[in-house]
Structure 1
Protein backbone atom coordinates (compact mmCIF):
# COMPACT_ATOMS: atom_id res chain seq x y z
CA UNK A 1 0.00 0.00 0.00
CA UNK A 2 1.27 3.48 -0.85
CA UNK A 3 2.24 5.64 2.12
CA UNK A 4 2.06 9.40 2.63
CA UNK A 5 5.37 9.99 0.87
CA UNK A 6 4.01 8.32 -2.27
CA UNK A 7 0.93 10.56 -2.51
CA UNK A 8 1.18 13.26 -5.15
CA UNK A 9 -2.32 13.08 -6.64
CA UNK A 10 -5.50 12.81 -4.58
CA UNK A 11 -8.74 11.61 -6.11
CA UNK A 12 -12.01 13.00 -4.78
CA UNK A 13 -15.32 11.39 -5.70
CA UNK A 14 -18.08 13.99 -5.46
CA UNK A 15 -18.01 17.74 -6.08
CA UNK A 16 -20.75 18.73 -3.65
CA UNK A 17 -20.24 20.66 -0.43
CA UNK A 18 -18.02 18.02 1.17
CA UNK A 19 -16.22 16.83 -1.96
CA UNK A 20 -15.38 20.35 -3.10
CA UNK A 21 -14.15 21.18 0.40
CA UNK A 22 -11.90 18.12 0.50
CA UNK A 23 -10.55 18.91 -2.97
CA UNK A 24 -9.84 22.48 -1.85
CA UNK A 25 -7.89 21.58 1.29
CA UNK A 26 -5.90 18.90 -0.56
CA UNK A 27 -4.97 21.35 -3.32
CA UNK A 28 -4.16 24.03 -0.73
CA UNK A 29 -1.77 21.55 0.89
CA UNK A 30 0.03 21.21 -2.44
CA UNK A 31 -1.48 18.01 -3.82
CA UNK A 32 -2.68 17.63 -7.38
CA UNK A 33 -6.38 16.74 -7.22
CA UNK A 34 -8.74 14.95 -9.58
CA UNK A 35 -12.32 15.86 -8.60
CA UNK A 36 -14.97 13.66 -10.18
CA UNK A 37 -18.75 13.87 -10.28
CA UNK A 38 -21.38 12.28 -12.49
CA UNK A 39 -22.39 15.44 -14.41
CA UNK A 40 -20.32 18.30 -15.83
CA UNK A 41 -22.74 20.73 -14.16
CA UNK A 42 -21.95 19.26 -10.73
CA UNK A 43 -18.21 19.53 -11.37
CA UNK A 44 -18.61 23.18 -12.40
CA UNK A 45 -20.68 23.87 -9.28
CA UNK A 46 -17.85 22.33 -7.26
CA UNK A 47 -15.33 24.72 -8.77
CA UNK A 48 -17.66 27.63 -8.01
CA UNK A 49 -17.79 26.55 -4.36
CA UNK A 50 -14.02 26.25 -4.20
CA UNK A 51 -13.39 29.64 -5.81
CA UNK A 52 -15.88 31.37 -3.50
CA UNK A 53 -14.33 29.73 -0.45
CA UNK A 54 -10.78 30.61 -1.49
CA UNK A 55 -11.79 34.23 -2.12
CA UNK A 56 -13.31 34.47 1.37
CA UNK A 57 -10.19 33.01 2.95
CA UNK A 58 -7.93 35.32 0.93
CA UNK A 59 -9.98 38.37 1.92
CA UNK A 60 -9.32 37.50 5.57
CA UNK A 61 -5.60 36.84 4.95
CA UNK A 62 -6.16 33.20 5.89
CA UNK A 63 -4.75 31.74 2.67
CA UNK A 64 -1.01 31.48 2.23
CA UNK A 65 -1.18 30.54 -1.47
CA UNK A 66 -2.66 32.38 -4.43
CA UNK A 67 -6.29 31.27 -5.01
CA UNK A 68 -5.69 30.76 -8.73
CA UNK A 69 -2.71 28.53 -8.00
CA UNK A 70 -4.84 26.34 -5.74
CA UNK A 71 -7.58 26.02 -8.36
CA UNK A 72 -5.00 25.19 -11.04
CA UNK A 73 -3.99 22.10 -9.05
CA UNK A 74 -7.54 20.68 -9.38
CA UNK A 75 -8.72 18.81 -12.48
CA UNK A 76 -12.44 18.21 -12.89
CA UNK A 77 -13.84 15.14 -14.61
CA UNK A 78 -16.95 13.00 -15.02
CA UNK A 79 -14.91 9.89 -15.79
CA UNK A 80 -14.16 7.54 -12.90
CA UNK A 81 -11.30 6.09 -14.97
CA UNK A 82 -9.43 9.41 -14.57
CA UNK A 83 -8.91 8.49 -10.91
CA UNK A 84 -6.46 5.81 -12.03
CA UNK A 85 -3.76 8.49 -11.64
CA UNK A 86 -4.58 8.99 -7.95
CA UNK A 87 -2.31 7.79 -5.13
CA UNK A 88 -5.09 8.12 -2.55
CA UNK A 89 -8.85 8.48 -3.03
CA UNK A 90 -11.50 10.07 -0.81
CA UNK A 91 -15.15 9.35 -1.62
CA UNK A 92 -17.72 12.03 -0.76
CA UNK A 93 -20.81 10.85 -2.62
CA UNK A 94 -24.34 11.06 -1.22
CA UNK A 95 -24.99 9.40 2.14
CA UNK A 96 -26.64 6.31 0.69
CA UNK A 97 -25.24 2.82 1.25
CA UNK A 98 -26.22 1.44 -2.16
CA UNK A 99 -24.61 4.41 -3.92
CA UNK A 100 -21.42 4.18 -1.88
CA UNK A 101 -21.06 0.44 -2.44
CA UNK A 102 -21.49 0.95 -6.19
CA UNK A 103 -18.87 3.71 -6.15
CA UNK A 104 -16.39 1.57 -4.23
CA UNK A 105 -16.92 -1.43 -6.48
CA UNK A 106 -16.18 0.81 -9.47
CA UNK A 107 -13.18 2.38 -7.73
CA UNK A 108 -11.83 -1.08 -7.00
CA UNK A 109 -11.68 -1.71 -10.75
CA UNK A 110 -10.46 1.77 -11.73
CA UNK A 111 -7.74 2.46 -9.15
CA UNK A 112 -4.45 0.54 -8.75
CA UNK A 113 -4.54 -2.21 -6.11
CA UNK A 114 -1.99 -0.52 -3.83
CA UNK A 115 -4.05 2.67 -3.45
CA UNK A 116 -6.04 3.13 -0.25
CA UNK A 117 -9.68 4.23 -0.49
CA UNK A 118 -11.28 6.48 2.13
CA UNK A 119 -14.97 7.25 2.63
CA UNK A 120 -16.26 10.51 4.08
CA UNK A 121 -19.43 8.85 5.37
CA UNK A 122 -20.76 10.33 8.60
CA UNK A 123 -22.90 7.39 9.75
CA UNK A 124 -22.68 4.39 7.41
CA UNK A 125 -20.67 1.24 8.11
CA UNK A 126 -17.10 1.29 6.82
CA UNK A 127 -17.09 -2.50 6.92
CA UNK A 128 -20.16 -2.78 4.67
CA UNK A 129 -18.78 -0.23 2.21
CA UNK A 130 -15.39 -1.97 2.13
CA UNK A 131 -17.01 -5.34 1.43
CA UNK A 132 -17.90 -4.07 -2.05
CA UNK A 133 -14.17 -4.19 -2.88
CA UNK A 134 -11.35 -6.73 -2.99
CA UNK A 135 -9.19 -4.45 -0.84
CA UNK A 136 -11.09 -4.34 2.45
CA UNK A 137 -7.87 -3.86 4.40
CA UNK A 138 -7.18 -0.63 2.46
CA UNK A 139 -10.59 0.98 3.04
CA UNK A 140 -10.86 3.47 5.92
CA UNK A 141 -13.29 6.11 7.16
CA UNK A 142 -12.09 9.70 6.84
CA UNK A 143 -14.98 11.83 8.11
CA UNK A 144 -14.33 15.53 7.49
CA UNK A 145 -16.42 18.16 9.26
CA UNK A 146 -18.38 20.84 7.41
CA UNK A 147 -17.18 23.35 6.24
CA UNK A 148 -14.05 21.38 5.41
CA UNK A 149 -11.72 24.37 4.80
CA UNK A 150 -12.58 25.84 8.22
CA UNK A 151 -13.14 22.92 10.57
CA UNK A 152 -9.96 21.48 12.04
CA UNK A 153 -11.20 18.01 12.97
CA UNK A 154 -11.28 14.77 10.98
CA UNK A 155 -12.66 11.50 12.33
CA UNK A 156 -10.74 8.36 11.35
CA UNK A 157 -13.02 5.30 11.41
CA UNK A 158 -11.68 1.74 11.54
CA UNK A 159 -13.62 -0.97 9.75
CA UNK A 160 -13.57 -4.65 10.66
CA UNK A 161 -10.79 -5.41 8.17
CA UNK A 162 -9.08 -2.00 7.96
CA UNK A 163 -5.33 -2.50 8.36
CA UNK A 164 -3.12 -0.57 10.77
CA UNK A 165 -1.26 0.81 7.75
CA UNK A 166 -4.47 2.24 6.28
CA UNK A 167 -5.44 3.78 9.63
CA UNK A 168 -1.98 5.32 9.98
CA UNK A 169 -2.14 6.70 6.45
CA UNK A 170 -5.54 8.30 7.16
CA UNK A 171 -4.15 10.04 10.27
CA UNK A 172 -1.00 11.16 8.43
CA UNK A 173 -2.90 12.46 5.39
CA UNK A 174 -5.32 14.46 7.52
CA UNK A 175 -2.43 15.93 9.51
CA UNK A 176 -0.73 16.94 6.25
CA UNK A 177 -3.89 18.91 5.41
CA UNK A 178 -3.51 20.79 8.69
CA UNK A 179 -6.22 18.80 10.49
CA UNK A 180 -6.35 17.10 13.88
CA UNK A 181 -7.77 13.59 14.12
CA UNK A 182 -9.50 11.27 16.54
CA UNK A 183 -10.29 7.61 16.01
CA UNK A 184 -13.55 5.69 16.19
CA UNK A 185 -14.54 2.08 15.83
CA UNK A 186 -17.03 1.24 13.10
CA UNK A 187 -20.14 1.64 15.24
CA UNK A 188 -23.29 3.55 14.12
CA UNK A 189 -22.70 7.29 14.08
CA UNK A 190 -19.06 6.89 15.16
CA UNK A 191 -18.17 9.44 17.88
CA UNK A 192 -19.48 12.69 16.44
CA UNK A 193 -22.91 11.93 15.05
CA UNK A 194 -23.73 9.38 17.74
CA UNK A 195 -23.58 12.25 20.23
CA UNK A 196 -24.42 15.22 17.99
CA UNK A 197 -27.66 14.02 16.37
CA UNK A 198 -29.57 13.40 19.65
CA UNK A 199 -28.41 16.84 20.83
CA UNK A 200 -29.76 18.50 17.68
CA UNK A 201 -33.01 16.54 17.79
CA UNK A 202 -33.60 17.42 21.43
CA UNK A 203 -33.00 21.08 20.64
CA UNK A 204 -35.59 20.87 17.86
CA UNK A 205 -38.07 19.16 20.21
CA UNK A 206 -37.50 21.78 22.92
CA UNK A 207 -38.36 24.54 20.47
CA UNK A 208 -41.29 22.63 18.93
CA UNK A 209 -42.78 21.85 22.36
CA UNK A 210 -42.56 25.48 23.52
CA UNK A 211 -39.82 25.04 26.10
CA UNK A 212 -38.18 28.17 24.73
CA UNK A 213 -37.99 30.26 21.58
CA UNK A 214 -35.54 29.05 18.94
CA UNK A 215 -33.27 31.98 19.78
CA UNK A 216 -33.28 31.08 23.48
CA UNK A 217 -32.73 27.36 22.82
CA UNK A 218 -29.58 28.30 20.93
CA UNK A 219 -28.53 31.07 23.31
CA UNK A 220 -29.01 28.85 26.33
CA UNK A 221 -26.82 26.11 24.90
CA UNK A 222 -24.13 28.53 23.77
CA UNK A 223 -23.90 30.38 27.07
CA UNK A 224 -24.60 27.34 29.23
CA UNK A 225 -22.21 24.87 27.60
CA UNK A 226 -19.70 27.10 25.76
CA UNK A 227 -20.43 25.67 22.30
CA UNK A 228 -20.04 28.09 19.35
CA UNK A 229 -23.49 27.29 17.89
CA UNK A 230 -26.75 26.15 19.39
CA UNK A 231 -28.52 23.05 18.04
CA UNK A 232 -30.89 24.85 15.68
CA UNK A 233 -28.18 27.09 14.26
CA UNK A 234 -25.92 24.10 13.77
CA UNK A 235 -28.65 22.06 12.10
CA UNK A 236 -29.20 24.90 9.61
CA UNK A 237 -25.46 25.04 9.02
CA UNK A 238 -25.11 21.29 8.43
CA UNK A 239 -28.29 21.01 6.38
CA UNK A 240 -31.57 19.75 7.82
CA UNK A 241 -31.73 16.99 5.20
CA UNK A 242 -28.29 15.78 6.24
CA UNK A 243 -29.33 15.80 9.89
CA UNK A 244 -32.51 13.88 9.07
CA UNK A 245 -30.64 11.24 7.04
CA UNK A 246 -28.12 10.75 9.83
CA UNK A 247 -30.86 10.54 12.48
CA UNK A 248 -32.83 8.00 10.45
CA UNK A 249 -29.75 5.80 10.05
CA UNK A 250 -29.04 5.95 13.79
CA UNK A 251 -32.71 5.34 14.60
CA UNK A 252 -32.67 2.20 12.48
CA UNK A 253 -29.46 0.95 14.05
CA UNK A 254 -29.82 2.04 17.68
CA UNK A 255 -33.52 2.43 18.41
CA UNK A 256 -36.00 5.08 19.50
CA UNK A 257 -33.59 7.28 21.43
CA UNK A 258 -32.39 8.43 17.99
CA UNK A 259 -35.84 8.97 16.48
CA UNK A 260 -35.80 12.16 14.36
CA UNK A 261 -37.77 15.10 15.75
CA UNK A 262 -41.11 15.67 14.03
CA UNK A 263 -40.35 19.32 13.20
CA UNK A 264 -37.02 18.34 11.62
CA UNK A 265 -38.81 15.99 9.23
CA UNK A 266 -41.51 18.59 8.50
CA UNK A 267 -38.91 21.22 7.63
CA UNK A 268 -37.17 18.83 5.23
CA UNK A 269 -40.49 17.88 3.63
CA UNK A 270 -41.15 21.59 3.07
CA UNK A 271 -37.78 22.03 1.38
CA UNK A 272 -36.42 24.32 4.12
CA UNK A 273 -32.98 22.75 4.51
CA UNK A 274 -31.07 25.53 6.25
CA UNK A 275 -28.45 27.94 4.95
CA UNK A 276 -28.11 26.21 1.58
CA UNK A 277 -31.75 26.92 0.68
CA UNK A 278 -31.99 30.30 2.42
CA UNK A 279 -34.36 29.11 5.13
CA UNK A 280 -34.37 26.46 7.84
CA UNK A 281 -35.05 27.31 11.45
CA UNK A 282 -33.75 30.78 10.55
CA UNK A 283 -33.75 32.83 7.35
CA UNK A 284 -30.58 33.61 5.40
CA UNK A 285 -29.71 35.93 2.53
Structure 2
Protein backbone atom coordinates (compact mmCIF):
# COMPACT_ATOMS: atom_id res chain seq x y z
CA UNK A 1 0.00 0.00 0.00
CA UNK A 2 1.04 3.60 -0.60
CA UNK A 3 1.34 6.15 2.17
CA UNK A 4 -1.85 7.75 0.88
CA UNK A 5 -3.77 4.47 1.20
CA UNK A 6 -2.38 3.66 4.65
CA UNK A 7 -2.68 7.18 6.02
CA UNK A 8 -0.64 9.11 8.54
CA UNK A 9 -1.15 10.38 12.07
CA UNK A 10 0.09 13.34 14.05
CA UNK A 11 0.08 13.21 17.84
CA UNK A 12 -0.49 16.66 19.31
CA UNK A 13 -2.66 19.43 17.88
CA UNK A 14 -0.52 22.38 18.95
CA UNK A 15 1.31 24.83 16.74
CA UNK A 16 3.66 22.31 15.15
CA UNK A 17 1.21 19.42 15.09
CA UNK A 18 -1.45 21.37 13.21
CA UNK A 19 1.15 22.49 10.68
CA UNK A 20 2.35 18.94 10.04
CA UNK A 21 -1.22 17.68 9.75
CA UNK A 22 -2.10 20.51 7.35
CA UNK A 23 0.74 19.90 4.87
CA UNK A 24 0.08 16.14 4.91
CA UNK A 25 -3.65 16.63 4.23
CA UNK A 26 -2.87 19.19 1.54
CA UNK A 27 -0.63 16.60 -0.14
CA UNK A 28 -3.49 14.12 -0.30
CA UNK A 29 -3.04 11.98 2.80
CA UNK A 30 -5.78 10.93 5.19
CA UNK A 31 -4.53 12.41 8.48
CA UNK A 32 -5.57 11.42 11.99
CA UNK A 33 -4.69 14.01 14.65
CA UNK A 34 -4.52 12.88 18.27
CA UNK A 35 -5.55 15.75 20.53
CA UNK A 36 -7.21 14.96 23.87
CA UNK A 37 -8.01 18.57 24.77
CA UNK A 38 -11.29 19.81 23.26
CA UNK A 39 -10.27 23.47 23.36
CA UNK A 40 -6.99 22.79 21.54
CA UNK A 41 -8.82 20.60 19.03
CA UNK A 42 -11.24 23.46 18.33
CA UNK A 43 -8.32 25.87 17.96
CA UNK A 44 -6.71 23.43 15.53
CA UNK A 45 -9.83 23.42 13.36
CA UNK A 46 -9.91 27.22 13.35
CA UNK A 47 -6.25 27.38 12.34
CA UNK A 48 -6.76 24.95 9.47
CA UNK A 49 -9.85 26.82 8.26
CA UNK A 50 -8.04 30.17 8.39
CA UNK A 51 -4.99 28.80 6.60
CA UNK A 52 -7.10 27.22 3.87
CA UNK A 53 -9.08 30.44 3.48
CA UNK A 54 -5.84 32.36 3.07
CA UNK A 55 -4.62 29.91 0.43
CA UNK A 56 -7.87 30.38 -1.52
CA UNK A 57 -7.63 34.17 -1.22
CA UNK A 58 -4.09 34.09 -2.63
CA UNK A 59 -5.13 31.84 -5.51
CA UNK A 60 -3.11 28.88 -4.26
CA UNK A 61 -6.20 26.65 -3.87
CA UNK A 62 -9.68 26.57 -5.29
CA UNK A 63 -12.79 25.89 -3.22
CA UNK A 64 -12.86 22.20 -4.15
CA UNK A 65 -9.24 21.66 -3.04
CA UNK A 66 -9.94 23.55 0.17
CA UNK A 67 -12.89 21.33 1.02
CA UNK A 68 -11.05 18.14 0.07
CA UNK A 69 -8.07 19.05 2.28
CA UNK A 70 -10.30 19.78 5.27
CA UNK A 71 -12.16 16.50 4.75
CA UNK A 72 -8.92 14.50 4.97
CA UNK A 73 -8.33 15.65 8.54
CA UNK A 74 -9.93 13.85 11.46
CA UNK A 75 -9.38 14.15 15.19
CA UNK A 76 -9.23 11.38 17.78
CA UNK A 77 -8.83 11.86 21.52
CA UNK A 78 -6.37 9.05 22.28
CA UNK A 79 -3.48 7.26 20.63
CA UNK A 80 -5.27 3.97 21.16
CA UNK A 81 -8.01 5.11 18.76
CA UNK A 82 -5.54 5.29 15.87
CA UNK A 83 -5.75 2.54 13.23
CA UNK A 84 -3.00 -0.05 13.30
CA UNK A 85 -0.49 -0.20 10.47
CA UNK A 86 -0.43 3.46 9.45
CA UNK A 87 2.38 4.44 7.12
CA UNK A 88 3.70 7.27 9.29
CA UNK A 89 3.05 8.49 12.82
CA UNK A 90 4.67 11.78 13.84
CA UNK A 91 4.77 12.62 17.54
CA UNK A 92 4.64 16.39 18.15
CA UNK A 93 4.06 16.91 21.86
CA UNK A 94 5.99 19.37 24.11
CA UNK A 95 9.74 18.90 24.58
CA UNK A 96 9.55 16.94 27.84
CA UNK A 97 11.42 13.66 27.83
CA UNK A 98 9.06 11.64 30.04
CA UNK A 99 6.03 12.81 28.06
CA UNK A 100 7.60 11.93 24.73
CA UNK A 101 8.71 8.52 26.01
CA UNK A 102 5.18 7.67 27.10
CA UNK A 103 3.60 8.92 23.87
CA UNK A 104 6.11 7.10 21.67
CA UNK A 105 5.69 3.80 23.52
CA UNK A 106 1.93 3.98 22.99
CA UNK A 107 2.31 5.03 19.36
CA UNK A 108 4.71 2.15 18.66
CA UNK A 109 1.99 -0.26 19.80
CA UNK A 110 -0.06 0.86 16.77
CA UNK A 111 2.67 -0.70 14.57
CA UNK A 112 3.26 2.08 12.01
CA UNK A 113 5.75 1.52 9.18
CA UNK A 114 7.55 4.70 10.31
CA UNK A 115 7.44 6.30 13.75
CA UNK A 116 8.95 9.76 14.08
CA UNK A 117 9.47 12.36 16.76
CA UNK A 118 9.34 16.05 15.93
CA UNK A 119 12.00 17.21 18.37
CA UNK A 120 14.50 20.00 17.99
CA UNK A 121 17.00 18.80 20.58
CA UNK A 122 16.19 15.55 22.42
CA UNK A 123 18.30 12.49 21.67
CA UNK A 124 16.78 10.13 19.11
CA UNK A 125 18.71 7.20 20.55
CA UNK A 126 17.47 7.91 24.06
CA UNK A 127 13.88 8.18 22.84
CA UNK A 128 14.34 4.99 20.80
CA UNK A 129 14.63 3.03 24.03
CA UNK A 130 10.92 3.61 24.61
CA UNK A 131 9.71 2.09 21.33
CA UNK A 132 9.27 -1.58 20.53
CA UNK A 133 11.07 -1.53 17.18
CA UNK A 134 13.80 1.11 17.03
CA UNK A 135 14.64 0.24 13.42
CA UNK A 136 11.46 2.05 12.31
CA UNK A 137 12.14 5.13 14.47
CA UNK A 138 13.84 8.44 13.67
CA UNK A 139 13.50 12.19 14.04
CA UNK A 140 11.54 14.42 11.67
CA UNK A 141 12.33 17.98 12.68
CA UNK A 142 9.82 20.37 11.08
CA UNK A 143 10.06 24.15 11.18
CA UNK A 144 7.45 26.75 12.04
CA UNK A 145 5.38 27.72 10.12
CA UNK A 146 5.35 24.23 8.65
CA UNK A 147 3.34 25.25 5.58
CA UNK A 148 5.91 27.91 4.61
CA UNK A 149 9.36 26.55 5.47
CA UNK A 150 10.53 23.92 3.00
CA UNK A 151 13.25 22.29 5.08
CA UNK A 152 12.73 18.97 6.88
CA UNK A 153 15.63 17.71 9.01
CA UNK A 154 15.75 13.91 9.23
CA UNK A 155 17.67 12.64 12.25
CA UNK A 156 18.89 9.08 11.96
CA UNK A 157 19.37 7.09 15.13
CA UNK A 158 21.90 4.32 15.64
CA UNK A 159 19.24 1.65 14.98
CA UNK A 160 17.29 3.40 12.21
CA UNK A 161 17.03 1.12 9.17
CA UNK A 162 17.69 2.12 5.58
CA UNK A 163 14.05 1.32 4.80
CA UNK A 164 12.82 3.75 7.46
CA UNK A 165 15.17 6.43 6.21
CA UNK A 166 13.96 5.93 2.64
CA UNK A 167 10.32 6.16 3.74
CA UNK A 168 11.06 9.37 5.65
CA UNK A 169 12.62 10.91 2.55
CA UNK A 170 9.66 9.81 0.41
CA UNK A 171 7.23 11.32 2.90
CA UNK A 172 9.20 14.56 3.02
CA UNK A 173 9.26 14.88 -0.75
CA UNK A 174 5.55 14.08 -1.00
CA UNK A 175 4.61 16.92 1.37
CA UNK A 176 6.82 19.37 -0.52
CA UNK A 177 9.88 19.42 1.74
CA UNK A 178 13.58 19.43 0.93
CA UNK A 179 15.32 17.07 3.34
CA UNK A 180 18.71 16.92 4.99
CA UNK A 181 19.89 13.90 6.96
CA UNK A 182 21.95 14.34 10.12
CA UNK A 183 23.18 12.05 12.84
CA UNK A 184 21.92 12.08 16.40
CA UNK A 185 23.97 14.72 18.19
CA UNK A 186 22.44 17.24 20.63
CA UNK A 187 20.80 20.07 18.71
CA UNK A 188 21.35 18.24 15.41
CA UNK A 189 22.40 20.81 12.79
CA UNK A 190 19.59 23.32 12.58
CA UNK A 191 18.87 23.88 16.27
CA UNK A 192 22.50 24.72 16.95
CA UNK A 193 22.53 27.27 14.12
CA UNK A 194 19.18 28.71 15.18
CA UNK A 195 20.06 28.99 18.86
CA UNK A 196 23.41 30.61 18.16
CA UNK A 197 21.46 33.47 16.56
CA UNK A 198 18.44 33.61 18.88
CA UNK A 199 20.36 33.48 22.17
CA UNK A 200 22.79 36.13 20.97
CA UNK A 201 19.87 38.35 19.92
CA UNK A 202 18.46 37.99 23.46
CA UNK A 203 21.82 38.94 24.96
CA UNK A 204 22.00 41.98 22.68
CA UNK A 205 18.56 43.06 23.88
CA UNK A 206 19.61 42.41 27.47
CA UNK A 207 22.75 44.53 26.99
CA UNK A 208 20.79 47.41 25.46
CA UNK A 209 22.51 47.18 22.07
CA UNK A 210 19.22 47.88 20.29
CA UNK A 211 15.50 47.31 20.63
CA UNK A 212 13.79 44.07 19.64
CA UNK A 213 12.36 45.54 16.42
CA UNK A 214 15.76 46.78 15.24
CA UNK A 215 17.61 43.59 16.13
CA UNK A 216 15.10 41.57 14.14
CA UNK A 217 15.12 44.07 11.27
CA UNK A 218 18.90 43.65 11.00
CA UNK A 219 18.56 39.89 10.61
CA UNK A 220 15.80 40.21 8.01
CA UNK A 221 17.36 42.97 5.89
CA UNK A 222 21.06 42.17 6.19
CA UNK A 223 20.91 38.37 6.19
CA UNK A 224 17.56 37.74 4.48
CA UNK A 225 16.09 35.77 7.35
CA UNK A 226 12.34 35.36 6.71
CA UNK A 227 11.66 36.42 10.30
CA UNK A 228 13.90 37.87 12.98
CA UNK A 229 15.31 35.70 15.79
CA UNK A 230 13.29 37.36 18.58
CA UNK A 231 9.98 37.21 16.74
CA UNK A 232 10.71 33.60 15.78
CA UNK A 233 11.39 32.81 19.44
CA UNK A 234 7.99 34.26 20.32
CA UNK A 235 6.35 32.09 17.65
CA UNK A 236 8.12 28.91 18.80
CA UNK A 237 7.37 29.69 22.46
CA UNK A 238 9.84 31.07 24.98
CA UNK A 239 9.22 28.13 27.31
CA UNK A 240 10.26 25.80 24.48
CA UNK A 241 13.32 27.96 23.80
CA UNK A 242 14.30 27.75 27.46
CA UNK A 243 13.99 23.95 27.63
CA UNK A 244 16.02 23.45 24.45
CA UNK A 245 18.68 25.94 25.54
CA UNK A 246 19.16 24.00 28.77
CA UNK A 247 19.49 20.77 26.80
CA UNK A 248 22.09 22.30 24.50
CA UNK A 249 23.97 23.86 27.42
CA UNK A 250 24.23 20.46 29.09
CA UNK A 251 25.60 18.94 25.89
CA UNK A 252 27.79 21.72 24.47
CA UNK A 253 28.65 24.05 27.31
CA UNK A 254 27.99 27.64 28.36
CA UNK A 255 27.75 29.11 24.87
CA UNK A 256 24.16 27.80 24.86
CA UNK A 257 23.32 28.95 28.40
CA UNK A 258 19.89 30.64 28.44
CA UNK A 259 20.18 34.41 29.00
CA UNK A 260 18.68 35.83 32.17
CA UNK A 261 16.08 37.77 30.15
CA UNK A 262 14.69 34.49 28.77
CA UNK A 263 14.48 32.87 32.19
CA UNK A 264 12.74 35.90 33.71
CA UNK A 265 10.20 36.16 30.88
CA UNK A 266 9.26 32.49 31.15
CA UNK A 267 8.93 32.73 34.93
CA UNK A 268 6.63 35.73 34.43
CA UNK A 269 4.43 33.83 31.97
CA UNK A 270 5.55 35.87 28.97
CA UNK A 271 5.83 32.92 26.60
CA UNK A 272 5.44 34.66 23.26
CA UNK A 273 2.57 34.34 20.81
CA UNK A 274 0.82 31.62 22.82
CA UNK A 275 0.43 33.90 25.86
CA UNK A 276 -0.09 37.13 23.94
CA UNK A 277 3.18 38.69 25.06
CA UNK A 278 6.86 37.93 24.67
CA UNK A 279 9.53 40.05 23.05
CA UNK A 280 6.58 41.48 21.11
CA UNK A 281 2.87 41.88 21.81
CA UNK A 282 0.60 39.34 20.09
CA UNK A 283 -3.04 40.45 20.02
CA UNK A 284 -5.58 37.63 20.12
- TM-score band, normalised by shorter chain: over 0.9
Q: Which position in structure 2 is the counterpart of 1:95?
A: 95
Q: Tell me the residue number matched to 1:107.
A: 107
CA distance in 2, matches of 1:215, 1:149: 25
SS at match of 2:61: coil
* TM-score, structure 1 as length reference: 0.92
Q: CA deviation at 1:6?
A: 7.0
Q: Paired residue for 1:77?
A: 76
Q: Provide the TM-score with structure 2 as the length reference.
A: 0.93
Q: Is the 8 A contact 2:3 2:29 kept in 1?
A: no
Aligned-pair CA distance for 1:245 = 1.6
**What do residues 131-182 of structure 1 show as CA deviations (whole Å, max 9, x unaligned)?**
1112101001111101111111111000111111111111110110011111
Q: What corresponds to 2:160 in structure 1?
A: 162
**Aligned residue in 2 for 1:134:** 132
Q: Could you tell me which residue of structure 2 aligns to residue 250 of structure 1? A: 248
Contact kept, 8 Å, 1:122 with 1:193, in 2: the verdict is: yes
Q: 1:34 maps to what in 2? A: 32
Structure 1: 5+ residue runs without aligned partners? none
When residues 284 and 80 of structure 1 are mapped into structure 2, their CA distance, relative to the original with a 3 A threshold, is closer
236-245 vs 160-169, which deviates more?
A: 236-245
- In structure 2, the residue matched to 1:119 is 117
1:191 deviates by 0.8
1:154–1:181 CA contact under 8 A, matched in 2? yes
Aligned pairs, how many?
A: 281
Report the secondary structure of 2:83's partner residue: helix
Large movers: runs of 4+ above 4 Å: 4-7
Q: Distance in 2 between matches of 1:5 and 1:216?
A: 45
**Gap runs ≥5 in structure 2:** none
Q: How much does 1:45 deviate?
A: 2.4
Bigger drift between 257-266 and 80-89 goes to 80-89
Name whichever of 265-274 and 14-23 sits farther off.
265-274
SS in 2 for 1:155: strand
Question: What CA distance in whole angstroms lies between the structure 1 residues aligned with 2:54 and 2:269?
Answer: 27
8 Å CA contact 1:274, 1:280 repeated in 2 = yes
Deviation at 1:84? 2.4
| Alpha-carbon offset, residue 5 of structure 1 | 5.2
Aligned equivalent of 2:215? 217
